[in-house]
Chain A
Amino acid sequence: MSKICRLILFTIFVTAPLAEVRAQESLPDAEPATTSEPEQRIVEGRPALYSFKRVINPFTWLEAGLRPVARSAESGFIHRLATRKSNPDKTSGIRFGFGGTGTGSGMGPVVTPFHRDFLGRGIEVEVPLVYTHRAYQSYQVQGRIPLGSENFVQRLRLELGAGYSSRAADDFFGIGNDSRSDDESSFRTVTREASAGFAAELNDDWKAGLRGVYRNVGVTNPTTGDSLQDQAGSVSVPGLFGATMGSAAFSIGRDTQVREDFAFKGSLDQLEVSFNDSVGKGDFRYWRYRLTSQHFIPLTNDNRKVIAFRALLETNRGRVPFFDMPFLGSQQTLRGFESFRFRDRTALALTLEYRYRIWPRIDAGLFVDEGQVAPELGDLGLDRFHTGYGARLFVWPKPNTPISIDYGRSRETWRLHVSFKPRF
């Protein structure tokens, strides 16, 4: 018994002091002093493996990769580049941009040396130089010489131009509305051209132009893909080995489009008529008639919802080299098909699009594209349309500078188009 008492006494002796360390609950001082309080922490240390788990997370690596770029875009070099205001008083310099050379060319840097007052006579000279990631190239020299201003024909200009362009590998699927998608081949064109003409702004909306063009187009093997020239063999493809053309073109158009305040408004209607004739290699002579029309119909006063309509009609009468034929399959025509999917002397493309604002500076769009090609205008028919459909996303980094990402689908394939400052 005495042993048991001893054990109890001992247990109480050991545990009693521990019980006494408990403190009474009390409210703190409103402003606790930092010196008189015991230096206790509410946690013993940092959570186990907390920093390690954060470090090994792949999204942390993503953040580390994005940070320098984002910082630069926010306040560094990229920011300065993007927000650099063009000095209206600057008469000469070099512009840097980003762009392409048309359908299927890909994107690349655009460097444009310019002079706005060449020889002190108000002559504008630009030399846009483009090289894309798909090795498409374009080097142009353009000059605009003012002839008149502030009269009935406002800002009449003489326009001169010369250039070299190389399209490395454009697709060819045959000629005609029923060409097969698996008959794909490619070709390269190298074009050297010179032009001269007049352009006049009749008023703020109406513009007209008249110009003559000399072009030498060489067709060669593409940089990638099966060569059209190898596959075509004896098949008759007009202009298979190129042509040298002289052209005279007249255009007139009314443009009331406004791409400001993050909205598309107004309309564009344009007619171009040209006569083209071989002046060397080849035997081609044809008239071309091209009609372009695009209209933006706001559904709400705030322009948040817009119906956009576009029609492109081109017909050529005479013998036309294949590379000069209108085609369908591009960001401007059938967006759900391969580039240059259909070619013929006549082409019709229609687009109906519903656009709506989904967030400040971001618009979405749903579209239906219809198109067909035919030898003659009279061959067009309601049952010959190819249909594509898809969705668009517009982002407006600046009020008049949209970037569009178009996703097009068709019965054959799907395509993604990215456009900087799209016209439609």
Chain B
Amino acid sequence: MREITFKGKTVAPLLALLLFGLICFAEVRFSEVLWLDFDMKDISEPKERDSGLFDPFVKGQFIEGTKQQLDAPRWVRRIAGRPKQASNVNQVDEVPSSSWYTNRHRIRRMTLDALERGPNKGPGPMLSNAVITSAKPSGVTPGMMLKDARGDSYLVKFDNANYPNLQSGAEVIITKILYAAGYNVPENYVAYLDAESLKIGDDVQITDRTTGKKRQLTKDDIDEMLRRAARTPDGRYRVLASKVLPGKAKGPFTQVGLRADDPNDLIPHEHRRELRGLRVIGSWVNNWDLKEAQSLDIYVEENGRKFLRHYLLDFGSALGAADHPDEYYHGREYGFDVGGIAREIVTLGIHESANEKVATLISSEVGSFTSQDFDPGNWKPTFPSVMFSNLTDLDAFWAVRVILSFHEDDLRQIVRTAEYSDERSNDYIVRTLMERRQMIARHWLGKVDALSDFSIRQSGNGVAVAFRDLMNDERLAVQDRTKYTYEIRGTSYKSTKKAVARPEITIDRETLGAATERGRIDTPIEVRIWAHRGNFTSDPVRIHFDWSPNRGTFSIRRIARG
């Protein structure tokens, strides 16, 4: 066996060549597409954090809002058209699953049964002879904690007597939509309760309204609470039963920043795409109550690991439902809208704010959910939030892709689980959701390329890059006025721009060869595609894929925008 030896004169060029090779490799190297951001490592038990009105209003709206307005680099990036993109986006412009989010309907379509089931794992509560373990008889939304016949604990909320089925219906629908969209939500059920069979547990304390002191809950308190609750014709109470989440509650997650006592929490929440995109999904279903307190971190144990899982809660104020469903401003103005106040001051009150208007109720169980006056770009939750104002067009595009994964049949299957008393309510909700879905798609897709579902296949002696144009698929654009220009790029190659009218680009072998020439054997090829609709030209979407003259397989390595 001959020994290979290197002498001094050959070492230098050898190292240079090695370095050159590594540099060339580094230019084109893409890591594996990551679909699971593993933030579920075992951590010690975090402290419980509390949250009240201070957090969304003083801290969220004013403190963090001011910090954001004074963030000079942010303004520079915005003015330059390069806003800070979300940090948890994988190589194909999607959000990987994590303790915050799970790719579900958008990536692999769920069956109608799975959509109908949502997060529910069991048959639901058995409320006959349920035992009250705690109660909140007063307040805007009275409720109680019950232990059912199976020993499971549920938070039970009642519908207002004036609006039967309204909030419970909305909460069940939104639970299933958000679950299919990928968020963690509790098991929420429509259930029926016979008040006569309720039992008061031992030492259930409430705060007396007149004296302000703690005392034992009595049957009279229950009767007083139920006096304002909606009843079914047979005298029972229809309720929303929310199963208590397994694990230890650790308070809501912040909408900006990190949780200091959670080592798994590496991405500032205002830079998480699934949280930014919640603004678009919230606008779809008009879930305006998206404040911090509507979320919950649960310290769970799964597969021998203990970590925090992050949930969204309380959706009884979506879909036009609310304690006061005739309030028109929800989704149209902030609870304290500085811009609205400034307009009122400047116009001496002539400007008519949304909070001056009264919403028209569609029906008592549907509330005021409409597609009229819906402005997807200007939709506002009750409290402004940094994570929502960080939303970029690409985050919104992701959220629209999630929304567009819901078809009419999907929504009809979900809406029927609200068990509305009138079939027309189902039809109306589905129709309105579809109308708002289209309005959202038209607004946000009009800002980006709107191209999705890229695929590559062999075509003749070259390849064909195919994709879906969501604007055309959803009939939001005139197909005849849409065209796509593209160019092929390699290590030392750039093709001339060409145009196609259909969402498919064919690249012949010569071009592929030229693109890979002087590159490594499996150097990814880049295709840049611009969408043109009338006078609008999108920024390019860059598709990187492997091609080898000796291989029959192709794989997309990266999809990049921005």
Show the binding face of A for B, using Cβ within 8 Å: 3, 6-7, 10-11, 14-15, 18-19, 21-35, 37-43, 45-47, 50-51, 54, 57, 59-60, 62-63, 66-67, 70-71, 74-75, 80, 84-85, 87, 302, 304-305, 354, 356-360, 362, 364, 366
Contacts and interface: CB of A to CB of B under 8 A. Distances in A.
B52 A71 contact: yes
Contacts of A70: 53-54, 58
B340 A359 contact: yes
Given A6-B4, A7-B13, A15 B22 contact: yes
B244 to A, nearest CB: 22
Contacts of A3: 10
A24 B25 contact: no
B38 A37 contact: yes
Contact of B21 (A15, A47, A54, A360): A15
Interface in B19-45: 21-22, 25, 29-30, 32-41
B555 A14 contact: no
B54 A37 contact: no
B474 to A, nearest CB: 22
A209 B302 CA distance: 78
A322 to B, nearest CB: 41
Contacts of B341: 358-359, 362
A23, A30, A62, A356 interface centre (most CB from chain B within 10 Å): A30
Interface residues on B, range: 35 or more
A14 B340 contact: no
Please indicate which of the listed interface residues A34, A42, A57, A358 has the most CB atoms of chain B within 10 Å of its own CB.
A42
A396 B89 CA distance: 46
B252 to A, nearest CB: 15
A18 B64 CA distance: 44
Given A18-B25, A19-B25, A67-B54, A28 B35 contact: yes
A43 B266 contact: yes
B58 A45 contact: no
Interface stretch (B95-103, B311-319, B408-416): B95-103
Interface centre among B40, B110, B266, B340 (most CB of A within 10 A): B266
B113 interface: no
A51 B54 CA distance: 21
B557 A25 contact: yes
A41 B39 contact: yes
B258 A31 contact: no
Interface stretch (B166-174, B342-350, B419-427, B488-496): B342-350
Contact of A356 (B87, B110, B344, B553): B344
Given A32-B36, A37-B38, A59 B103 contact: no
A74 B54 CA distance: 8
A15 B87 CA distance: 30
Nearest to A39: B38
B10 A43 contact: no
A58 to B, nearest CB: 9
A45 B349 contact: no
Given A42-B87, A43-B266, A59-B63, A74 B53 contact: yes
A208 to B, nearest CB: 37
A305 to B, nearest CB: 5
B362 interface: no
B355 A359 contact: yes
Given A28-B36, A42-B96, A356 B349 contact: yes
A34 B54 contact: no
Contacts of B266: 41, 43, 45-46
Contacts of B536: none
A40 B344 contact: no
Contacts of B67: 57, 59
Interface in B103-131: 103-104, 107-108, 110
B92 interface: yes
A23 B32 CA distance: 5
Contacts of A51: 258, 260
State the 4 A-B residue pairs at the shortest beta-carbon distance, nearest first. Answer: A356-B349, A28-B35, A358-B344, A23-B32
Contacts of A66: 54, 58, 63
Contact of A32 (B4, B35, B267, B336): B35
Contacts of B13: 7
Nearest to B110: A30
A7 B10 contact: yes
Given A59-B63, A358-B344, A27 B108 contact: yes
B155 interface: no
B17 A27 contact: no
B522 interface: yes
Nearest to B333: A359
B222 to A, nearest CB: 23
A32 B30 CA distance: 23
Given A27-B108, A54-B257, A357-B349, A63 B59 contact: yes
B475 interface: no
B556 interface: yes
B38 A357 contact: no
B228 interface: no
Chain B CB count within 10 A is highest, among A27, A47, A80, A358, for A358
Contacts of B553: 24
A342 B107 CA distance: 78
Nearest to B114: A30
25 contacts: A7-B10, A14-B18, A25-B555, A27-B108, A28-B96, A30-B108, A32-B102, A34-B305, A40-B32, A42-B37, A42-B87, A42-B267, A46-B258, A50-B258, A50-B268, A51-B260, A85-B210, A302-B356, A356-B348, A358-B341, A358-B349, A359-B340, A359-B341, A359-B355, A360-B355
Given A30-B103, A38-B38, A63 B337 contact: no
